[in-house]
Structure 1
Amino acid sequence: MHLYQEQKIQIYNTLSGKKEAFKPIVDGYVGMYVCGPTVYSNVHLGNVRTFMSFDMVFRYLKHLGYKVRYVRNITDAGHLENDADAGEDKITKKARLEAIEPMEVVQRYTVDFHNILNTLNFLPPSIEPTATGHIIEQIELIKKIIDNGFAYVVNGSVYFDVHKFNETNDYGILSKRKLEDLIHNTRTLDGQSDKKNPQDFALWKKAEPQHIMRWPSPWSDGFPGWHLECTAMSTKYLGDNFDIHGGGMDLKFPHHECEIAQSEAAIGQAPVNYWMHANMLNLNGQRMSKSTGNTVNPDELLSGNNAFFSKAYAPSVIRFFNAQSSYRSILDLTDDGLLASEKGFYRLMDAINLLDDLKPESSSTFNVTDWKQKCYDAMNDDFNSPILIAHLFEAAKQVNQIKDGKASLTSEDLELLKNTMNAFTFDVLGLVNVLKADTGTDKLSGAVELLIQLRQDARANKDFALSDKIRDDLASAGIQLNDGKDGTTFTTN
């Protein structure tokens, strides 16, 4: 019997606004799509929080024995500035500013995205499609929407007719917005003259002469609309109706709302059964913003090279910090919060590392079976990782009491406790057991000094990939390199 047959999950469905019993379309299989990054800059820490939350969901579903097809896309075209239907493509703008090809921008920041997620111990998705790799599918989807009467062509561009769609469907079903309110709150803007109504959105945009990223279509040489890309890629790999669609709260409207409308207009049915949205990440009580300087990149947090935090933090400490808050709650990133999470993380690791040394007794003073079910109950309740962590700390307390002779477990219970703690800590939460390094040992100092020298040699030879890998791998192990005018020193987390 698979675990999912006895452990029943409740998921908060944004569509209904309540928790619902999770029942996949096909028993034992789960199809999940999460909107990936637009690769025009270093991945934003707020995006990392979203992807980390769904990495945990992916891990738990796999732990329960589901066969999961997890699709997370790469947006490498068609995403315009300020999520508008007019203006400049984000990737094209970056390419123009840096005087390089757009696909050089895509490659550079896709590599950065993967490097950061690998450092933070993410599982790779089952499929990672790109928007530019699915232009044909997007064109075919537009044809269906036009044939069904929900889109129109103007001057080589194709727009979705929101008002026509709303006559027979509910545009706003996900975000709980009414079209009448959207009309009332919309001001007429320049550049929207091609649209019948300001609420309509682009499915295909005719490329201006200076626009580099363009593809032929029945309507013009142009590029797809951002909303359309996710509809085409999710349905191609998961089918016209699939189980879970995830993303950040900021994507609920208009992006996800438009996805629903496009699917219903083209296929005639709702695409997704469970919509999940991760909440925002603040920095020191304020929304992250590049314009105000209140922002920090993941690599800056990992390296300690920033103006907000007192030290570098190991990847697993960052994961642990994230898991101490529900994915649906706003999370405030602060130095005090990270320092507290660091202490908690190492306290948990210390307890897990004691497990192998504990001696079984003839009787148990702790009901491991009931405790194990509490761990499952927490994750079954909309992936409630903070409650799970509370139960893991309860077990850590028991481990220390057993070590001190104040509690006992039978051999069977001890094995069950060990397996359960390891499964939830490492398989589900994705933490890595990094022992705190002792900077006072000659062996550690000698090994790190050797790696520092190798890194200096790599930099001298302009092998920056190797140089960065040495730094990042040491950071992953809780050892922070600090470059200064007098050379490179190291500290441990």
Structure 2
Amino acid sequence: MYQNHTIKIYNSLTGEKEVFKPINAGHIGMYVCGPTVYSNVHLGNVRTFMSFDMIFRYLKHLGYKVRYVRNITDAGHLENDADVGEDKITKKARLEEIEPMEIVQRYTVDFHNVLDQFNFLPPSIEPTATGHIIEQIELISTIIDNGFAYEVNGSVYFDVHKYNETNNYGILSKRKLEDLIHNTRALDGQSDKRNPQDFALWKKAEPTHIMRWASPWSDGFPGWHLECTAMSTKYLGEQFDIHGGGMDLKFPHHECEIAQNQAAKGKSPVNYWMHANMLELNGARMSKSTGNTINPAELLSGENTIMSKAYAPSVVRFFMMQSSYRSILDLTDDGLLASEKGFYRLMEAIKYSNDLNVCNTSSFNVLDWKQRCYDAMDDDFNTPILIATLFEASKFINQIKDGSASITAEDLEILKATLHTFTFDVLGLEDTAKSETGTDKLNGAVEILINLRKEARINKDFVLSDKIRDELAAVGITLKDGREGTTFTTN
């Protein structure tokens, strides 16, 4: 199936949409930088991982064999993404007076639980930094042997200036080394580095540092940037197709990954760099210090002071899919409320599609509509256009139901299959009417009230009829009267 599709991907390396050509026909290697497991997963990170989950789903749907690697950072990530300070996991462990690996376990479990709630597919491989110390030490040794790193007092640093003599440090972020030098403050006692722009490949552990490993240079721990180079190339090869992550990782993390691979292997590791954009909250950056923040659990439970109510995971996912992964997305209560209505309208149309009457003609070009669904996704995974196209089908289904449009049996099967594929398999949405606990009982109770209202109307007791309708509406249940009878939706 993929042979019939020309996918275009916006490549952050070139700043252009490019026709996607895998290194090996029919096979795709994709690496996405995973979480540093020292706290509950941030909602902005959820959006990034959700974007690549959608991409993973679509590529698999097209028939590609995708090896999707998403790592767990469980060591080596220092405060403020710097080469000095305390390891984020060690710091959290010290504050809570428990072992660092207890922190790792707690927040890895939380990470998986949150992603399960949003219906993520698991990656093909989920390696950890601590599980690949040997590979990282070997990579450092190669970089030193190639003349692009140096050891000082047990720590090893990447020589950015030496590297830039024959390569381009800044090729991804479009930053120039000269500008970085100009904007860099004094070293403030960091005398181990030859230049402020150099970054750590291995850090000698201080006596109080708990997470440490033996190496040829010292007992210490690897640099944060190194782990992704080691793990991505181990499982995907020295060159692979797609590397993804959040926009905030473009520099320095991804820039350093390119430099490390180029220094060790003599080649750039990735053909297509993809970056998901930021998630804002009510028009401003999320920040714990200002109180402008909300985590996934608070959003789904409604236990917060920012949103008016709780939102189902698929509603949140639908909201996020209504924006391009490359666009800044503003999370607001109004936006979620609108998405909730749209989500249930789509679910309702899919439910109706199972009970439509067919005839000998179709008043809707189903094959053209199906192609436009694929065209949207082939154009850099344009989920906003895809969703707009799905709503065209939703409108058509309602027209068939009302008798103002018609469809053949063959076209109906294509319509239903395509709706199911893109709504559930590609966008990863779930029909909450099927999955929410207690829904069957709710449906039964509402049906009883609908029948009581019907009897009241037959008996011309319109006061009771209106009372049932209005009181259901007050608790978020809307009744709709049509030719087929009365149906309801939940808001």
TM-score (norm 1): 0.89
Query: How far apart, in 1, do the equivalents of 2:246 and 2:279 lie?
Result: 10
- Shift in Å at residue 433 of structure 1? 1.0
Show the counterpart of 1:200. Answer: 198
1:438/1:444 contact within 8 Å kept: no
Corresponding residue number in structure 2 for 1:465: none
Cα offset for 1:438? 11
Max radius of gyration: which structure?
Answer: 2
**Partner of residue 164, structure 1:** 162
Question: Secondary structure of the residue that 2:165 maps to in structure 1?
Answer: helix
State the AA in 2 paired with 1:267. Answer: K
What CA distance in whole angstroms lies between the structure 2 residues aligned with 1:437 and 1:198?
54
Report the equivalent of 2:17: 19
Among residues 300, 303, 313, which one is paired with 1:302 in the alignment? 300
User: Could you say what secondary structure the match of 2:85 adopts?
Assistant: coil
Give me the whole-angstrom Cα distance separating, in 2, the residues matched to 1:408 and 1:371: 15
CA distance in 2, matches of 1:82, 1:440: 45
Contact 1:244–1:273 (Cα < 8 Å) also in 2: yes
Matched, 1:102 2:100: yes
Partner SS state of residue 304, structure 2: coil
User: Secondary structure at the residue paired with 1:11?
Assistant: strand
- Relative distance call for 1:63 and 1:446 in structure 2 (3 A) is closer
Distance 1:265-1:426 versus aligned 2 partners, 3 A rule: same
Query: Displacement of 1:435 after TM fit?
Result: 2.0
In the alignment, which residue of structure 1 is the partner of 2:342? 344
- 1:423 and 1:163 mapped to 2: Cα distance? 50
Shift of 1:228: 0.2
For the residues of structure 2 that align with 1:88 and 1:195, how far apart are their CA atoms?
A: 18
Alpha-carbon distance, 1:193 to partner = 0.9
2:127 counterpart SS class = coil
2:277 aligned residue = 279
Q: Which amino acid aligns with 2:17?
A: K
Structure-2 separation of matches of 1:220 and 1:25: 39
Residues 1:220 and 1:446: Cα distance change in structure 2 (over 3 Å): farther
The gaps in structure 1 that reach 5 residues or longer are 448-477, 479-491
Contact between 1:156 and 1:205, CA under 8 Å: does it hold in 2? yes
Instruction: Indicate the residue corresponding to 1:236 in structure 2.
Output: 234
One-letter amino acid of the structure 1 residue matched with residue 382 of structure 2: N
Q: Which residue of 2 aligns with 1:183?
A: 181
Q: Distance in 2 between matches of 1:336 and 1:275?
A: 33
8 A contact 1:439–1:445 mirrored in 2: no
User: Residue 433 of structure 2 aligns to a residue in which SS?
Assistant: coil
Q: 2:137 aligns with which of 119, 136, 139?
A: 139
Q: Answer yes or no: is the 8 Å Cα contact 2:433–2:439 preserved in 1.
A: no
The 1:406–1:168 alpha-carbon spacing in structure 2 relative to 1, beyond 3 Å, is: same
Kindly report which structure 2 residues correspond to 1:237-252, keeping only aligned pairs within 5 A, or say none.
237-252=235-250
Matches within 5 A, 1:54-453: 54-435=52-433, 443-444=441-442
Aligned residue type for 1:208: E
C-alpha separation in 1, matches of 2:68 and 2:436: 39
Alignment: residue pair count:
449
Q: Could you tell me which amino acid in structure 1 is paired with residue 216 of structure 2? A: P
- Please name the residue that 1:485 is paired with: none
Distance in 1 (alpha carbons) for counterparts of 2:255 and 2:146: 19
Structure 2 partner of 1:42: 40
Cα distance in 1 for partners of 2:108, 2:57 equals 23
Moved more, 405-414 or 131-140: 405-414
**TM-score, normalised via structure 2 length:** 0.89
CA RMSD between the two structures: 1.9
- 3-state DSSP of counterpart to 1:168: coil
> Which SS does the other structure have where 1:293 is aligned?
coil
Residue 390 of structure 1, CA deviation: 0.2
Shift in Å, 1:443: 3.3
Alignment identity in percent?
A: 82
Amino acid at match of 2:312: A
> How far 1:354 moved relative to its partner?
0.5
Mapped to 2, the partners of 1:437 and 1:275 lie a distance apart of 36
CA deviation map 1:375-432 (0-9, x unaligned): 0000000000000000000000000001111111111101000000000000000000
Change (3 A) 1:441 1:70: closer
Q: Could you list the runs of 5+ residues in structure 2 that have no partner in the other structure?
A: 446-475, 477-489
Q: Does the Cα contact within 8 Å between 2:30 and 2:241 map onto a contact in 1?
A: yes
- Structure 1: distance between partners of 2:439 and 2:425: 31
Question: CA offset at residue 8 of structure 1?
Answer: 1.1
Q: Distance in 2 between matches of 1:93 and 1:444?
A: 47
Q: Structure 2 vs 1, CA of residues 437 and 33 (structure 1 numbering), >3 Å: closer, same or farther?
A: closer
For residues 149 and 293 of structure 1, the distance between their equivalents in structure 2, rounded to whole angstroms, comes to 47
Does structure 1 conserve the Cα–Cα contact (< 8 Å) formed by 2:136 and 2:222? yes
2: distance between equivalents of 1:441 and 1:273? 47
The residue aligned with 1:454 is none
Which residue of the partner structure matches residue 473 of structure 1?
none
1:436–1:284: structure 2 CA closer, same or farther, 3 Å change rule?
farther
The AA in structure 1 aligned to 2:346 is L
Aligned equivalents of 1:216, 1:246: Cα separation in 2: 31
Partner-residue secondary structure (3-state), 2:432: coil
Structure 1 counterpart SS, 2:381 = coil
Q: What whole-Å deviation, never above 9, does each CA across 1:206-237 have from its counterpart, x for those lacking one?
A: 00000000000000000000000000000000
